[in-house]
Amino acid sequence: MSKKYDTLNSAERDKIIEYCSVKFLKDGFYYVTVDQIASELRMSKKTIYKYFSTKDELVEAVAIKMMEDVSTRIEEIITSENDSLTKALMLFEVMAGVVVRFSENWLKDLQIHTPKLWKKIDEFRTKRAFTALGSIIKQGQSEGIIIDKPAELIIHIFVNTVRSVVHPDFLYHQKFNYKEAFIHSFEILFNGILTPKGRKIFDKIFSKVIK
């Protein structure tokens, strides 16, 4: 098999995933058919089934691509030369940027129709958040920006608070959206762990984020 053929196949597969990423995150996937996807992409169902034997497999591919993209962006933040607070707010922007793309239909479909995949996504974001925040908080403590309390406890509080606040069941009964929930959560949490020096830096940087 030639490299040119492999490239064409890869481009075709990527096109399907990219299209479905937008569609699924906006509308959910349960009521979307492969016929509909094929028609909107102007390709045959056979072509789609060449890469994905079932719709569930396609949904999983969309989720995996999303997790890989987020992981790459988080790694770039952690390894950058920025101070810890700038890294934390950059992490916030990445997380908020991802979450605001999620429709209630997408989240509900994952929970109800693909519970194993939902668990995989939930475990990924928890593990990735623990790793990223752990690195940032320890750096912040060494910089004198974050208070000298057990890093593991701070991380646990952060991760579990954000997870519960941006959960669909919680937001369904509130008057603010995903991004607003992130903004309020991070502002409350950070103001609780910053030193006076860190609070001054935070106020200056965060005022730009919420505009």
Q: Compute the distance between CA of residue 64 and CA of residue 81 in angstroms, rounded to an integer.
A: 28
Ordered DSSP codes for 41-90:
HTS-HHHHHHH-SSHHHHHHHHHHHHHHHHHHHHHHHHTSSS-HHHHHHH
Question: What pLDDT does 49 receive?
Answer: 94
pTM for the model stands at 0.76
- Please report which helix (H) or strand (E) contains residue 177, including its range: none
Contact 146, 84 (CB under 8 A): yes
The token duo for 47 is 């072509």
Question: What pLDDT does 8 receive?
Answer: 55
Question: What pLDDT does 39 receive?
Answer: 95
Q: Compute the distance between CA of residue 22 and CA of residue 29 in angstroms, rounded to an integer.
A: 11
Question: What pLDDT does 211 receive?
Answer: 54
Q: Compute the distance between CA of residue 108 and CA of residue 118 in angstroms, rounded to an integer.
A: 10
* Angstrom distances, CA of residue 80 to CA of 59, 158, 206: 32, 22, 19
pLDDT under 70 in the chain at which residues?
A: 1-8, 96, 100, 163, 165-179, 182, 206-211
Contact 16, 48 (CB under 8 A): yes
Question: What pLDDT does 4 receive?
Answer: 46
From the centroid of its chain, how far is CA 156? 18
Task: Report the 10 Å Cβ neighbour count for 53.
Answer: 10
The token duo for 146 is 């974050």
Question: What pLDDT does 40 receive?
Answer: 95
Question: What pLDDT does 5 receive?
Answer: 42
